[in-house]
């Protein structure tokens, strides 16, 4: 009834949740363009919007006030803290120096083998020497472990090509749209998630005496800890691990500091969600539910050995 390939896929789906726990991956790619005509503000905004529209017909758009005097050098993408409940995480953003911000997000796609999301946004920075258009593609995926991650990666590669090839195609499409509006646009920087950086118009950009070319982004791929019953293969800082877990819970539509949602995950024996709540370190394990049960008492009543082990281990740390 099933082909050999389908049998292998079904076997992987059944076995993978037993071999490892949650793993997440985030990749960031950037494209910086420069319009040498510093007076062509309207055309630059339209070109940036056309580029982002290659992924969304109606992206969000914010236009700021014209400065009384143009700065000597254009701004660039910034890392900024965003508040989620009582805690904050750091995300890439246009920053206060951007004249225009245009963005889109496909949201989170929940599937049998994990979740994926894509965030694309563009920023426009004015200056006396030229106008910078910065575009960012941020892709996130989470799976139940390395085996499921490999399976998801394989499926994505078959469907659309690997992440680097996919991003190159997106950037090519964006650049083509910009060149329709601004034929003389310069490519200042293209940085892919693989770490590959190209600056095809470096000499022409330098001739404009813009600010120093933007530095390379932090490591494009950031993986959460992957833990099996036997070994720990990687150990990021506890703060980084907690922030990553909170991002994943938020992406799943859960409130990372909700004791009620944490207890609900225990009741349905959702080991992945329980693991994320524990790593987020935002629920009090000694707090009692409305029925007077502590977390460990609830876990023992549900009688899931793996969840009991995780809670006891977290409580002892």
pLDDT in tens, 119-143: 899 999 999 999 999 999 888 766 5
The tens digit of pLDDT for each residue in 151-204 reads 445 545 444 557 788 899 999 999 999 999 999 999 999 998 877 889 999 999
More confidently predicted of 43 and 220: 43
Question: What whole-number distance in Å separates Cα of residue 79 and Cα of residue 84?
Answer: 16
More confidently predicted of 138 and 81: 138
Average pLDDT across the chain, whole number = 76
Determine what percent of the chain is predicted with pLDDT higher than 70.
69
Q: Which domains does the chain have, with CATH numbers?
A: 16-220 (no CATH), 230-316 (1.25.40.20)
pTM for this predicted structure: 0.57
Q: Are 126 and 97 in contact (CB under 8 A)?
A: no
Least confident among 22-26, 160-164, 248-252: 22-26
Q: Which two tokens stand for residue 264?
A: 């609900």
Q: What is the pLDDT of residue 233?
A: 38
Q: What is the pLDDT of residue 237?
A: 53
Query: Is the pLDDT reported for residue 229 higher than 70?
Result: no
Question: Which of 199, 201, 191, 178 has the alpha carbon at shortest distance from 124?
Answer: 178
Q: What is the pLDDT of residue 8?
A: 44
Q: Which two tokens stand for residue 9?
A: 């896929």
Q: Which two tokens stand for residue 196?
A: 């590959």
More confidently predicted of 14 and 197: 197
Helical axes 259-267 vs 271-280, angle rounded to 10°: 150
């Amino acid at each position: 009834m099933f082909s050999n390939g389908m049998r292998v896929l079904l076997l992987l789906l059944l076995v993978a949740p037993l071999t490892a726990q949650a793993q997440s991956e985030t990749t960031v790619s950037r494209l910086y363009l420069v319009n040498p005509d510093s007076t062509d503000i309207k055309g630059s905004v339209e070109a940036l919007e056309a580029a982002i529209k290659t992924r969304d017909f109606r992206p969000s758009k914010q236009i700021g006030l014209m400065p009384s005097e143009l700065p000597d050098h254009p701004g660039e993408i910034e890392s900024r803290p965003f508040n989620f409940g009582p805690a904050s995480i750091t995300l890439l953003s246009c920053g206060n120096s951007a004249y225009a911000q245009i963005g889109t997000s496909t949201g989170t796609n929940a599937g049998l083998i994990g979740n994926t999301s894509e965030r694309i946004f563009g920023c426009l920075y004015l200056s006396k020497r030229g106008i910078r258009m910065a575009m960012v593609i941020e892709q996130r995926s989470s799976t139940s472990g390395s085996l499921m991650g490999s399976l998801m990666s394989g499926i994505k590669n078959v469907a659309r090509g690997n992440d680097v090839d996919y991003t190159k195609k997106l950037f090519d499409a964006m650049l083509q749209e910009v060149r329709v509006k601004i034929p003389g646009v310069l490519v200042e920087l293209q940085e892919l998630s693989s770490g590959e950086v190209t600056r095809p118009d470096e000499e022409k950009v330098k001739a404009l005496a813009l600010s120093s070319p933007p530095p390379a982004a932090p490591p494009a791929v950031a993986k959460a800890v992957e833990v099996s019953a036997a070994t720990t293969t990687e150990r990021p800082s506890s703060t980084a691990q907690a922030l990553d877990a909170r991002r994943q819970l938020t992406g799943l539509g859960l409130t990372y500091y909700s004791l009620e949602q944490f207890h609900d995950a225990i009741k349905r024996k959702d080991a992945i969600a329980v693991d994320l709540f524990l790593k987020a370190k935002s629920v009090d394990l000694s707090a009692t539910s409305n029925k007077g049960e502590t977390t460990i008492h609830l876990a023992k009543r549900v009688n899931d050995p793996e969840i009991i082990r995780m809670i006891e281990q977290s409580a002892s740390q």
